[in-house]
Amino acid sequence: MNSKTKVWDERRNFMKKAGTATLAVPAVWYLGKSRMAHAEDLPKLTEDDATAVALKYVHDASQAKDRKDPTSDCANCLHYTGADGVEFGPCAIFPGKSVSAKGWCNVWAKKA
């Protein structure tokens, strides 16, 4: 391989990597944005949902009869993945639904 061929190979490799990065950055941004939009669009869990009833979920943690820690609510629960400041967010225990940040259920576990 002569030096001209080597230079062209290096340029070609650089262009391939640059092209891949150019496509990857918007794709990652789009996927992240669509996932955030999806979380906001989740239907709200209702208190009369069968699983919610079984786990004693309430939208207002202060109304939870079994709550021992008065500071516990969904916003500070290990299973909650809603963004700070939003009223409702996803919970791993209720997939496909959003729960109130001020809610509570008997699976509550303190977020680390």
Q: Which residues bind ligand SF4 (CB under 6 A)?
A: 57, 74, 77, 79-80, 91, 93, 99, 103-105, 107-108
Q: Which is nearer to ligand SF4, 33 or 110 (CB)?
A: 110
Find out whether 107 and 74 touch, Cβ atoms under 8 Å.
Answer: no
Distance of CA 60 to the CA centre of its chain: 22
Output 21 or 112, the one with its CB closest to ligand SF4.
112
Q: 42 or 77: whose CB is closer to ligand SF4?
A: 77
